[in-house]
Structure 1
Amino acid sequence: MSSIRKLEEPEPAEAAYYEGYHRGHLDTAKMLSRRSLMYLVIGSFFGSVLMFLVFSSGALDRLTADEPVIEDPALTQEKPKEFVNAINWAKQFTVGIVAETPERLVPTRVGYGRIPGQTHVGSGVVLNSDGYILTNAHVIPTDATKLSVVLDDNMYEARFIGQRPEYDLAVIKIVAEELVPATLGDSGKVEQGDVVVAIGSPYGLFHTATEGIISFVGRRNDNASTLVRNYLQTSAAINPGNSGGPLIDLTGRVIGINTWKLNEQAEGTDGIGFAIPINIARKVFYVIIASDDTSRDETISSTPRSISTAYLGVAIDDGYRPEAAQGALVREVIYGTAAEDAGLKPGDLITRIDGTNIDGLDDLRTALKQFEPGARIKLTYTRNGEAHTIEVTLRD
């Protein structure tokens, strides 16, 4: 007997059911396929319209406008051009100063020993086209036998003019052509936070520039031996060799003379340097050059001299005066001086001092040497063609 059963044929009604089920399944699949295609077409159409509206209305830009833009810091921290311009301008009137001292004999237990001569390096500022250079008094040793100035890669022999140790300022002079004098600012207008640049010769590295800010205005130093009581404190690096160089603002104007920093041996003193305000330094400069005797032949005095000449407070333009006029033409009236108090102005022509005729800078210097600080003089000047006589109390 066979174990294989013959499959029975389905009944006609059952066969019809399966056939109807199959056809319905196929019809439903076709319908769903057609609907899917229709929905895809409709969705694509509306999607395209929506994207068009978004881009054309700028909505996408508004959505992304607040997103931060990340940039490479190395590409965004370029120094303003004014830094470069100010430094390049100041380098024209910033000099290096080299002072040489002789060999010395010193007593020892067995006789005398020799100390080799030394070379001291500092900085200075050319303040007029005649070659006068302002620096710190401590840059020039009292026993210096030779002074040299480095400017534009050239070495010039310098002549010592004078000093005011109580202000730590001194003046030397060179003979050179086409000197560019410094443009001076007003240290009375300097504010805490102003950006500044110190230029000088730290460790003999001429024309080194360091950037900083004014950390404090009017800093006192009661331990110093000078009369300066209102230094400009700066974060710009000031190192040995910077002394006497300019502290400039971003217009290239000199606002101070770099002078000292806190003790290098003390911890945490980097970026604590001090400059003499230019309003003080400028006054002292004119006092010193008023004593200059151009007949001196020696290059440097072995004993620098302190000056106590009475001070008027004017800068004279000795290269120009009105045609056929006699006098000393005032180019600048120094802030806070006797000349300013008396009402003198640039363009005035000083013609007489206490009965003495004045015809140029030399006559003015000679006349002022007769007076001590505090003296009251009669000064005659011409302004706009009219003569005026005033009384002026001279200062130190």
Structure 2
Amino acid sequence: MGSIYFKSKTYNRFLVTLVLVSIVIIFILISYQHQSNLENLKYQRKVVEVASTSELTTKEYVRDITKPNITELQFKPCKRKAVVIFAGFRTGSSFFGEYFNQHPAVYYLFEPLLGDENDRIKLLKNILKCNYSEVEKIYGKRSNEAEWVKCKSNVCFSGRSSFLWRNTNLCKNKHPFCGVDVLDINVLSKVCRQSIAIAFKVVRLYHLSDLEEFLLDPELDLKVLHLFRDPRPAVPSRIKMSGNNKSGSKISNQTLKYKQSAEYLCRFYDRNLLYVKNCIKRHNSSNSNLSFACNSTISNAWKNSYLRLTHEYISERPFDALELVYKFVGINFDANVAEWISDHTSIAATNNTKHTEKNISGKFFGTSRDSKKVLNSWRLKEQFVDVEAIQKPCINAIKSLGYIPVVNETHLKDISFSLYNINNSVVGSFVRYPP
């Protein structure tokens, strides 16, 4: 009897031990799985972080992914966000570009299209890809401009790109051609890739259709901001600028100058408005120019990638415009940009020597102004005969963009009446009217 009791007790102890050992093993397995999950999560975050810089191709990511449960589908590299401000001369693009230049995480270039016309698309492509070795070769076709891209003082007009002074690792040594710090092309490309977005304004590109191939590029998330300005103040500004240029017009009659400049500007306006109508808004009609007919692939690519704004809307509602544009592009609001706008659109800004146009970027490319005052200043300066000379060749653009034609001198000078319709100031696939 005692023997049976002893055996039973031993067996019970064995069962208890077995249960305890099982519990320990299960605990170890759970801990190991948890640790493995944590490691995978950390690795995934690291891959996503690296991917956001877009420095590797999809194949390179796949080769680099060695951890379990990580697939190519999960970790395709993020598309590089790219913003193109498409505008004409003297349309407010310098001021508008500062919405991106003042953002500390955006890589912004000021009018990079200085190469030959045949190379402009190739140049844009390499800038969008952050490939500055190729950019240097393209500029090199024009005398010493291969060196131009290396010089800190010359990259897109004398340091108009804020990333140049935000990043202290861009420069190597002094260069005899530059007279200042020379940029390291490899570091420049790296800084470009690490930015949350690439942005630049172009006033040397004449057709929106030239951007189609970038819309279809699987590596790019392209956003096009199409900027217009009322041609009636834009034309006198263009004439004034050309008058300070040796290659400017030699015509003495001011009204004729205005007429010819307006014809050129509004051909540019009309051509691209027609493209928008037929290829983006898809309002094809029987009398449309067939050269602007677009297939569904191109039309769909423009969806959510196009936003039209007017300089007048941006000037009158700079903070609404900032919110709208950042939402459209998909970047976060930054207080530095809001502060800059506040400083440069107030009455004080025009009198503050720290923010005068000459101190910032010269007489014609300034970014400080009492915005609301500037909107109507041209109406008090110009004569009706000259304004009418602009209106006639531009009447289609004026009406299409929501501007109101003036009918006489009294109408022109009465600034209590606005000459633009704010409800037609912003047009895009995701928004019809300004906020």
TM-score calculated relative to the size of structure 2:
0.27
TM-score calculated relative to the size of structure 1:
0.29
Higher-Rg member (1/2): 1
Higher strand share: 1
Higher helix share: 2
Q: Which has the higher contact order (CA 8 A, sep 6+)?
A: 2
